[in-house]
Structures are given as structure tokens and as C-alpha cells.
Structure 1
């Protein structure tokens, strides 16, 4: 989801600050549009991929994802000869600390997401990524002092009503949806502290590197007890290949996003981000045949109304910006 900052299974709630809105980011840049749409479509199909790895537990899948993402990123770093940027990141305590924190947050996000998909709760994951932009707006108001515009306040209020409907119907908080939205919202908040100083590849490399020792320690414990997915009757060449591919599968859409957002307007990025949760919800309903209760349909419809208000406000704000070369 990020990613001048790496996204878990969904992109950042808003485009990175570096995304231009001028002639260099014209909507006619077909390559940029293709990159942005490509990354969101790939993220939207992630539930199908993780279903193929279901024989491995959620924690083991995330462990492999961390290890092989690090391997992929180191390979790309060598290919691009961007070792100086990586060296600067790991030798600057402030940057390293922030990326270690963001690595923890994105790992939690990944873990909850994979658990949701492989426990038949993909619709809950989709709801989390629908409300993520609204959570990000609230976090920005709380921690960065940004003021909510009236329309944003209305959107957040409608989303809160949607959550209340689910709580009343289920008798419990929709913890998967809220965990995904909060972990990714906090992830974006933390990443904002180093945003312009660390490129996407370097950030993902350091984040994965900080968490890989934890993954390796877990593997040591798991396989010492003979409980690994690649041991015994559950093992297969296809499963092993799928776990190794978790690295490039994670890195490719992130790099597409980082490259694409430099070429297209914020409006395209902001609107395209909803492709992923729409695809996730459709997969949950039409492919995985998850049970979606009437209360969930009501809450989902309310969230879609909130999203519509949010998008309308976004488009209105963008329409008021002066065009390059013109004066208001």
C-alpha cells in the first residue's frame, strides 16, 4: 500500500511533497500515469499473491518479505551505484532512528494485512485503506498543527459514523481496519521527518535492514523447532519461489510509485490511490466469497460517501491553485 516512502499494501494517503503540479507533471505524461496506475493495480492484486503463500503463516511470510526485500534493494543499490546515499542514511543517527521506527510500523502494517487476507478478512483490509487518507488528515492536525478544512471534517465525521455502525453491529472494534489505517498513517507521519533527505530505494533498504535481524531470529527459532513452512509436508518448490519473490514483489510497485509521482499531478495520484482498496473489496466479495453482513455494506457505503467528500474537496483545492505562468 508506500512511496517516496514505501507503502505496505497501499500508497501514501497523499502524494509526496516533491510531486510537481506544473508542466513537468502534465496529465499528458503517459509514462508517469502508467507507472502510478501500475503500482496501484499491483497493490490491488496483492491478496491473490498472498493467498498462494497461505501454507506459510503470516509471521513467516512477513519474515521472508523483509529478508528478500532487503536482498532486492541491495541488488538495486549496487546496480544504481547508490551506496553513498545508503551510507549517509545508516551513519546519520537521526535518519537511522526515524527509518528504524518507520520499518517497525510498516512491518506491523504488513503483518496485519497478510493476516487479514489469509484469514478471510480482505474486506476489513480494504476498509482500512479506504479510511487511511482520513486518518492521515487527523494525524496531521494532531501532530503537525495542520487545520482541518470543513469538508475534511465532514469526511472524517462520516467515517467515524461508519466505524460506529460496525461497532454497534459486531459488538467490537474493527481492529484490522483501524490497525491498518493507524499504522500506515503513523508510518507516513514518521517518514515525513526524513522525506526529502532519503530517496525511496534507500529508505526501503534501511527499513528492511533494521527489521531483518528480527526476521532471522524468528526463522532460527521456527526452523529449529521443525515448524517452518519449507519443512515437512507443506514445502514445495512453488511455495519457496513465492516466498523469495516477496522481495521484488514488494520493491517493484514502490519504485514505480516513486518514479511516477514525479511525472504526474497530485490530482492523479490522489484519485488513483482508491484503486487499491476498491480492488481488494471486489476480490473479497466476488473471488474469495467473504461474508459481508448488511451492517458492513452500510458502513462501507458510508466510507465511500466520506471518500467522495474527501476527493471533491481535493479537486476543488487543486482547481484553485494558480497555473504555472499565470497569475491570479
Structure 2
């Protein structure tokens, strides 16, 4: 019997921890763009993240056997390379709060892809929540105010969200086919593949020279240890224990806090429409949280 439809306190705690870690990570990722190229930083983040994950894997005696190559590589390309790399690139010219919001259009792509490939169907109130969240995201983004200079950043951030959504579908299908798959091993191997790919990209794409300031080391440590190694492991765990669409929609809390952190720490103050958008997103999250109880009861009857 799967745990997807049941109340899972650990999965909910995982979502809370992810919110805090990933919300602040947008601040660290933005600050470091002044000192290092996007692809160099992403490659280093994946390298150190993979190293840490394999050390933990070894210490826990899980074995070092690779997970299925094709789906693991697909997750690496879509999740670590696509989502992280494109988002970091978008931050070079975009504000942390705006890029976070655009990247987190991911849940909408997951809902569409989950319906097409996983057979998941959203209930009416959940569709309503998506609509409310979409309006909120639009108010925060304010696409009618985007200048030509910010279009590149916005497009990269949206592509980052699409890539992340696709990786969630690949991971979900892999769990369905391999229910006993080791989460730590999967996270470790996909991070290793991503480190290799991003290292090649960093070598081939011209970037600014690295200025090894303390900010670089701080951002790299935070990103590799918390936002990469720990957080991706938590994300895969949450994704395994909750429906893909629900888990992804719930993570809309991350860009909300990301906007607040960017306001507090970077001076990116949201205007009236952006504030209204944040309120609508929080309201949509409340709808999703309440509605999740209905499927849980239905599953327990089965």
C-alpha cells in the first residue's frame, strides 16, 4: 500500500524545512552573481553537493550501486542542471524575488504533466486553488511592466520552472516502477551526473572570472550542503510520499518567503499589486491544505 494518499507528518515537516532552506537560498544565489559566473557556480554547487551525498551514502552503508541510468540522468538534466542552472543564470540580471516567483510556476506545469503522464486528476477546489494562485503569481510578476532587458531573465526563470516540473514527473514515474528505490542513492547519482554535465558547460561557455570573495564560499557552502544535498533529498522524499501535483503546489510557499526575504535583505520591496499577489498565493495554499484531507479519507477506505 502506498503512502501517497495518507497523512504523512514527516512529509509535511519536510515541506516546512524546504520552505526555509530554499527561500533563503535565493538570497545567497543572487548575492554570489557579483563574483562568479552562473555556470561556474552551478557546477561547483553540484560537485560539492555530490561529494557530500556520496560521503553520507558511504557512512550509512547503503551501497554504491548506481540507480537506473536513463531516468537518473533525466532527473539530473531536468532538476539539477535545468532548474538550478537556468535559475542561477536568470539571477544574473533579475531580482531574487521575481526569479523565485517565475521559477515556481513549476506547480502549474506539474499539474498538466501529471494529468498527461501519471493519470492524476485535480478536484474542483484544487483547480480553484490553481486559478487563485495563477492570479497571485501574475500580480507578483506583473508581466506588463517587463522591459526588454528583463525579458531574458524572466524567460530563463520560466524555463527553469518547466524543467523542474518535468523532473518531478520523471521521478514520480520512477518511484512507481521502483517502489523500493533508495532515495539517497538516487539523489547522489543524479547530482554526480549533473556535476559532470555542468562542469562541461562551465568550461565551454564564456563567463566572468571568479572573484574568490568570502561571499562565494558562504554561498557555495549553503547551496551545496543545505539547498542542494539536504534539500533535494527532502524534495524527493516529499514527492514520493505525496501526489506530485499536491507536493508541487504546496511548495508555492517558497517563492512567497523568497519575496519577503528579498524585501528584507536585498531591499526589493514589493508594491501593492505584488503584496496582493502574495496574499492570493497564501490563500490558494490554504485551500490545498484543507482539500488534502478528502483524498486521505478516500484512500483509507480502499
For structure 1, list consecutive stretches of 5 or more residues without a partner in the other structure.
Answer: 1-16, 90-94
**How far has the Cα of 1:46 moved from its partner?**
0.5
C-alpha distance in 2 between matches for 1:60 and 1:102 = 20
Aligned residues: 288
Cα distance change on mapping 1:142 and 1:246 into 2, 3 Å: same
**After superposition, where does 1:75-224 map in structure 2 within 5 Å?**
75-83=55-63, 86-89=64-67, 95-106=68-79, 107-128=81-102, 130-158=104-132, 166-170=142-146, 174-195=154-175, 196-220=179-203
Structure 1 segment 243-322 matched on structure 2, within 5 A: 243=220, 246-249=223-226, 250-256=228-234, 273-290=251-268, 292=270, 296=274, 300-301=277-278, 304-305=279-280, 308-309=283-284, 311-319=286-294, 321-322=296-297
CA distance in 2, matches of 1:211, 1:261: 20
CA contact (8 A) 2:104 2:252 kept: yes
**Do 1:66 and 1:208's aligned partners in 2 also have CA atoms closer than 8 Å?**
yes
TM-score (structure 2 length as normaliser): 0.75
Structure with greater helix share of residues = 2
Does the 8 Å CA contact 1:112/1:180 hold for their aligned counterparts?
Answer: yes
Structure 2 stretches lacking a partner, 5+ long: none
- Summarize the Cα distance change of 1:242–1:182 in structure 2 as closer, same or farther, 3 Å threshold: closer
Deviation at 1:113, TM superposition (A): 2.1
Q: 1:38 to 1:306 in 2, by over 3 A?
A: closer
Deviation at 1:204, TM superposition (A): 1.7
TM-align CA RMSD: 4.0
Flag the 1:60–1:38 CA change in 2: closer, same or farther, 3 A.
same
| Aligned residue in 2 for 1:47 | 26
